[in-house]
Amino acid sequence: MSAFQTKKLPELKPGFETEAFSPGKILLATLKRDVKLAFRRQSDWVNPLIFFLMVASLFPLGVSPEPKLLSTIAPGVVWVAALLSTLLSMDSLFRSDFEDGSLEQILVSPQPLYFVVLGKVLSHWMMTGLPLTLMAPLLGVMLFLPFEGMGGLVLSLLIGTPTLSLVGGIGAALTVGLRKGGVLVSLLVIPLYIPVLIFGTAAIEASLTGLPVAGHLALLGAMLVLGLTLAPLAIAAALRISVSG
Amino acid sequence: MSEPLLIVKNLFCERDDRVLFDQLSFDVSAGDVVQIEGQNGSGKTTLLRILGALSRHYEGDIYWKGTSIHDDSLTYRNDLLYLGHQPGVKAVLTPEENLRWFMALHPSLDVGQIRHALTEVGLRGFEDVPCHMLSAGQNRRVGLARLYLSQALLWILDEPFTAIDKQGVAAQEALLLAHAERGGAVILTTHHELNLGQFVRRVNLDKQVGTK
């Protein structure tokens, strides 16, 4: 059989990959990769931001330009718009990785899925939740939200939006195997978003009326911690099921 | 022959009331190249996904070095390189960035080898071109470059030669052979006639197809 080409491969070293892995490293690598991907495919993260901006700018036109009315509904409008634009971006979280086989590669690798998932969700938040939070004061001004409410607005969004990303990730992971999972994600996830919405708007109302905000923010923080610890586990399990099907 | 690495025992899988395989048993030892044969729809990809521990829709047992692959999945995944139907190549990343991500998933591998691997698969000069600008075959080659980087004992390859040109196929065959010679094992599906002579063992799924 002289027709064979000869190739040289390095020797196999048994137990080569069984060294202790560092979760921090893979978390950081995932974060970097996903942020880079998001920057190359800008529509994924620009769309929700434009949606957010449009909802807030259409409200005065549709409801009433009356400053007094707008300032009362402003906390709710900003929060609902943030929630819906997060939801809008949720479906794409695992979609492209699922379709091009990258998700399979992650699942067969010896890395702890928990940290890969956490990295993906954090990068999703950095590309949606964080810009939403930074844009929120602008929307607040457009809706005549009094200055005293700005602190509550930014802080509640800063603590609340990561929870939205984490919970939405569960829905995205469960439906990624389906051809059209978009609507299903909303149905699955909206009920779980409601507590975040309630305490988020309550924090703004409290800061508007001069009441202490700390209690609402503490509850939002508690939800965030719960989400950080448990949601990646649920997402990891859901991804295994979705890929398995 | 030494102890087999992978033992498949009485595997049964059905899909949509159609039995894909029943009582399927075979084993893979170091130095084996096992080709899974069968017509379209006979369950080749399904079998590979089961062997890659991605799918659990089966009955039966699969042992890696004597332990069930789901009991000690970390050891198994350390020893496994799986190349699926989709190559797992991100279109917006360059070949080099794609391989860097592979290295991040397997941190003990040597990042310095990436250029060498890309040269081996004939992508020298394309390191910094986004993969969506490359042809289908070149994208496939980005996936195959992992074979040059990996230290995994078992390779599971689903149609690795799709869209690869003739010279490329010859090079991949030589690569499979080199892997078998260094004590590795390969399980693959392909419709291509493998020119590896006596090194290949074949498992045919056609006889297994049936309806319930």
B67-68 sheet: strands from edge to edge = B67-68, B59-64, B6-15, B18-28, B210-211
Query: DSSP string covering A109-172, please?
Result: SSS-HHHHHHHHHHHHHHHTHHHHHHHHHHHHHHTT--THHHHHHHHHHHHHHHHHHHHHHHHH
CB contact under 8 A, B107 and A26: yes
Which CATH superfamily, name and number, covers B6-204? P-loop containing nucleotide triphosphate hydrolases (3.40.50.300)
Q: What is the ipTM of this complex?
A: 0.91
Judging contacts by C-beta atoms under 8 Å, the chain A residues touching residue B129 are none
Please, which residues 105-124 of chain A have a Cβ atom closer than 8 Å to chain B? 105-111
A20 CB within 8 Å of a chain B CB: no
CB contact under 8 A, B195 and A7: no
Phi and psi based region of residue B69 (left: phi greater than 0; alpha: psi -120 to 50; beta: remaining): alpha
Selecting from B75, B79, B178 the residue whose C-beta is nearest the C-beta of A8 gives B178
A66 CB within 8 Å of a chain B CB: no
Q: Of B209, B211, B169, B160, which is closest to residue B188 (Cα–Cα)?
A: B160
Give the residue on B whose Cα is nearest the Cα of A113: B105
In DSSP terms, which residues pair with B81 in a beta bridge?
B155
CB atoms within 10 A of CB B60: 16
Model pLDDT for residues B164-183, shown as the tens digit of each residue: 888 889 999 999 999 998 98
Judging contacts by C-beta atoms under 8 Å, the chain A residues touching residue B175 are 7, 9
Q: What is the pLDDT along chain A (245 residues), one digit of tens a residue?
A: 334 456 777 777 765 555 556 888 999 999 999 999 999 988 888 999 999 999 888 999 999 999 999 999 999 999 999 999 999 899 889 999 999 999 999 999 999 999 999 999 999 999 999 999 999 999 999 999 999 999 999 999 999 999 999 999 999 999 998 877 678 888 999 999 999 999 999 999 999 999 999 999 999 999 999 999 999 999 999 999 999 87
